[in-house]
Amino acid sequence: MTGTMEAEKAEAAAWFRTLRDRIVAAFEALEDAHGGGDAAGRFEVTPTTREGGGGGLMSVMRGGRVFEKVGVNVSTVHGSLGERAQKAMTARGVPGMAADPRFHASGISLVAHMANPHAPAVHMNTRMFWTPGAWWFGGGADLNPAIEYALDTAHFHDTLRLACDAHAPDYYGRFRAWADEYFFIPHRGRARGVGGIFYDDLNTGDWQADFAFTRAVGEAFLPAFLPLADRRAEIPWDAADREAQLIHRGLYAEYNLVYDRGTKFGLETGHHPEAVLMSLPPLAKWV
């Protein structure tokens, strides 16, 4: 596909916003189902801007009965990459990036830290990236429980597998392995959770097919995660459970601040810092 792809950019950005709206509504409904419904069980929505061009919406819920903190952000940004980001993209082999730093990026990013230590934290994002020399999609979802349940892990992976298998027989195996590698914390010698799928630089040459797969990943998120959040929301827990949760959150914070590609890109390209760092937990602990 050639040209500036203005229609495709608009189509992708509109879908990311639609997915955001569906997830926000589903999470508020889950709060209501567990006795919420007050201000703590509602998202605070803040428009964001990027100095170089574009912006988005930062939607954060704090202090809910189900979600201690959850952010669901969408953004569409454009302009020219800074020197560090341009060098990083060039090193990744992005076509034309060394000669032309223009870019367009659109996507959704979600991180949920749960009130009940038995409920797993979760991350999901999908995105489209364009440069004058290339376009691609990326994203995925991964589960990060402090207290692991094999039933939850199996359900999460099975749902993502179905989404992948509908598009290519090798996607789930490839992207699960990629997630295991990507979400590994080298200085701790361990994964940050029980995995999921991760993919980047997806360009098969068929924009509609790659966009359809990216939509499938986003659409699989609620059926993969909501049942887990629902059934763990009211399990009794004690101080030891909370301790395990806070220590596990420390791992999550370490990963996102040291290794996460999206965090680095957002900060280096001048996006709203609170939106970029909304993935950090409200409380964490190190021992």
**pLDDT tens-digit readout, 238-252:** 999 999 999 999 999
When pLDDT is cut at 50, 70 and 90, the band that residue 2 belongs to is very low
> What residue spans of 34-170 are helical by DSSP H?
83-91, 150-165
Beta bridge partners of 137: 128, 202
DSSP string for residues in 257-271: HHT-HHHHHHHHTT-
Domains of the chain: 6-279 (3.40.1500.10)
Estimate to the nearest angstrom the gap between the alpha carbon of 170 and the chain centroid: 22
Tokens of 255: 């990963």
pLDDT in tens, 103-115: 899 999 999 999 9
User: What is residue 1's predicted lDDT score, i.e. its pLDDT?
Assistant: 43
When pLDDT is cut at 50, 70 and 90, the band that residue 90 belongs to is confident
pLDDT in tens, 58-74: 999 999 999 999 999 99
pLDDT in tens, 191-227: 999 999 999 999 999 999 999 999 999 999 999 999 9
Mean pLDDT of the chain: 91
Does 146 or 86 have the greater pLDDT score? 146
Res. 181: pLDDT tops 60: yes
104, 113, 118, 123: the active-site residue? 123
Catalytic: 123?
yes
Q: Which residue has the tokens 């937990």?
A: 281
> pTM for this one?
0.92
> What residue spans of the chain are helical by DSSP H?
6-33, 83-91, 150-165, 171-182, 207-232, 239-258, 261-268, 273-276
pLDDT in tens, 28-43: 999 999 987 777 889 9
